[in-house]
A = this chain, B = another copy of it.
Amino acid sequence: MPKDMNTTDSIYERRESQARSYCRGMPATFTMARGSEITDDTGKTYIDFLAGCSSLNYGHNDPDMKAALIEHISNDGIAHGLDLHTNTKAAFLESFEQHILEPRGMDHRVMFTGPTGANAVEAAMKIARKVTGRTNVIAFTNGFHGVTSGALAATGNGYHRGGAGMSLNGVTRMPFDNYFPGQTDTAEFLDAMLSDKSGGIDAPAAILLETVQGEGGLNAASPEWVKRIAKLAKDHGALLIVDDVQAGCGRCGTFFSFEEMDVMPDIVTMAKSISGFGLPMAMLLVRPEYDIFGPAEHNGTFRGNTHAFVTARVAVEKFWADDSFQKELSEKSQMVHDALSDLAAMVPGAFLKGRGLMQGVDVGSGDLAGAICARAYENGLIIETSGSEDQVIKVLAPLTTPKDTLRKGFEILLAAATDILSSHKTLAAE
């Protein structure tokens, strides 16, 4: 059994902040990881359906990225380059231009922000405000954009908002797609509020959205809704910002989450899997006409994490140079869908959420979802919940997970569910 590192004499108890979180439910000490599997210090191996919250879309320690990175370090390549030119950065930009931007007809510029998704969101909000001379950013229920003050204002989660210790300004909250199933269309709602001269919503600098809300419970916006929101942004003089930190980099089946929606965001924020290897890296894409920051007006010491540029370039070239990977994602999405359908069928009232490799099951209760994930962990599967009540079991397996491993992971998950549900029934029957 793994040693519980949460005991009082552990270094974590002694010295790490109470803010630590995942390690509480998964107390093992991990030492090694490869592809979709991760091993603890007792030698126990887990299948990883969490993938660093979608930061490891290409799995742990991808061999090609690993080789390139070791070579870079061995050669005394630049580790930290501020925003100086390096051959490494140039190579990444060229790959990204060739394989990602050009094929999608995007003339966006790349801005390397501080290496966190929140930092990219902060920069995006600042750009929108500076471009429009307006303050108000429209964000949505259950949106999650980070926990620094500017981004946190846009984040819906009350627990995280409470961490601010103060009231957060500059954002108006609106209901996300399908917030009232079968009732008022929420794009119509937003349009009505913005168009009403006495609607009391200040003219927006931006509309900020995730096409699939990862932390918010795998709420997937319909293409029609996103398209309508994009039009609203344009009509009301606001920039459209798509936060693709979690849903991008292939997670939804295409490189960007919005590719098949016939919209083109003014700004796209990226982080998590953009480095390919789990290294800290974040950036935003911005239409040239809105690329209006002066030199270093938004800056940050680690805006050039050169190690990340090395692996990010390999990731682009290895997975996105042709459409084979994307096709593979399509098949795996179906596998995830089928397996989760089985899970949903086991729980009365449960239903599938999300899309692509970003799907889950709303089992109606945070306790139940938590119990299933905890049991799965015991049996060698790392998987987490999301949603406002933590009621959604969320599958974020690496996109590169071999089909066999996927199957094995789902076996563990379904067995855990069966197990928990039968004991629940027993309890209920007593």
On whether the beta carbons of A159 and B79 are closer than 8 Å, the reply is: no
On whether the beta carbons of A141 and B196 are closer than 8 Å, the reply is: yes
Measured CB to CB, the nearest residue on chain B to A161 is B202
Q: How far is the CA of A336 from the CA of B213 in the complex (A)?
A: 52
B residues in contact with A160, CB < 8 Å: 296-299
On whether the beta carbons of B165 and A77 are closer than 8 Å, the reply is: no
Q: Which of B115, B140, B389 contacts A280 (CB 8 A)?
A: B115
On whether the beta carbons of B115 and A302 are closer than 8 Å, the reply is: yes
On whether the beta carbons of A110 and B301 are closer than 8 Å, the reply is: no
CB distance from A343 to the nearest CB of B (A): 23
Contact with B along A294-310 (1 / 0, CB 8 A): 11111111100101000
B residues in contact with A52, CB < 8 Å: 80-82, 301
CB of A326 closer than 8 Å to a CB of B: no
Number of interface residues of A (CB under 8 A): 154
What are 15 A-B contacts defined by CB distance under 8 Å? A11-B94, A16-B111, A19-B294, A19-B296, A20-B83, A24-B295, A61-B76, A80-B277, A126-B164, A160-B298, A166-B167, A175-B193, A245-B301, A279-B307, A307-B307
Q: How far is the CA of A114 from the CA of B245 in the complex (A)?
A: 14
On whether the beta carbons of A22 and B84 are closer than 8 Å, the reply is: yes
On whether the beta carbons of A30 and B133 are closer than 8 Å, the reply is: no
B residues in contact with A245, CB < 8 Å: 301
On whether the beta carbons of A169 and B169 are closer than 8 Å, the reply is: yes
On whether the beta carbons of A77 and B31 are closer than 8 Å, the reply is: yes
Q: How far is the CA of A234 from the CA of B213 in the complex (A)?
A: 31
On whether the beta carbons of B180 and A18 are closer than 8 Å, the reply is: no
State whether A80 and B93 are in contact (beta carbons under 8 Å apart), knowing that A148-B119, A291-B18, A299-B21 are contacts in the complex. no
CB of A5 closer than 8 Å to a CB of B: yes
State whether A101 and B21 are in contact (beta carbons under 8 Å apart), knowing that A61-B76, A119-B148, A170-B166 are contacts in the complex. no
Q: Which of B16, B78, B128, B158 contacts A33 (CB 8 A)?
A: B78
Q: Which of B16, B128, B147 contacts A299 (CB 8 A)?
A: B147
On whether the beta carbons of B111 and A297 are closer than 8 Å, the reply is: no
CB distance from A300 to the nearest CB of B (A): 6
Which A residues, 55 to 105, have Cβ-Cβ distances below 8 Å to chain B? 55-56, 60-61, 66, 69-70, 73-87, 90, 93-94, 96-97, 101
B residues in contact with A346, CB < 8 Å: none
Q: How far is the CA of A340 from the CA of B5 in the complex (A)?
A: 50
CB of A426 closer than 8 Å to a CB of B: no
Q: How far is the CA of A18 from the CA of B290 in the complex (A)?
A: 10
Give the one of A19, A38, A126, A295 with max B CB within 10 A. A19
CB of A155 closer than 8 Å to a CB of B: yes
State whether A115 and B115 are in contact (beta carbons under 8 Å apart), knowing that A23-B85, A149-B149, A301-B55 are contacts in the complex. yes
State whether A114 and B111 are in contact (beta carbons under 8 Å apart), knowing that A52-B301, A85-B30 are contacts in the complex. no
On whether the beta carbons of A197 and B61 are closer than 8 Å, the reply is: no
State whether A301 and B117 are in contact (beta carbons under 8 Å apart), knowing that A52-B82, A94-B11 are contacts in the complex. yes
CB of A402 closer than 8 Å to a CB of B: no
B residues in contact with A350, CB < 8 Å: none
CB distance from A389 to the nearest CB of B (A): 6
B residues in contact with A169, CB < 8 Å: 167, 169
B residues in contact with A159, CB < 8 Å: 197, 294, 297
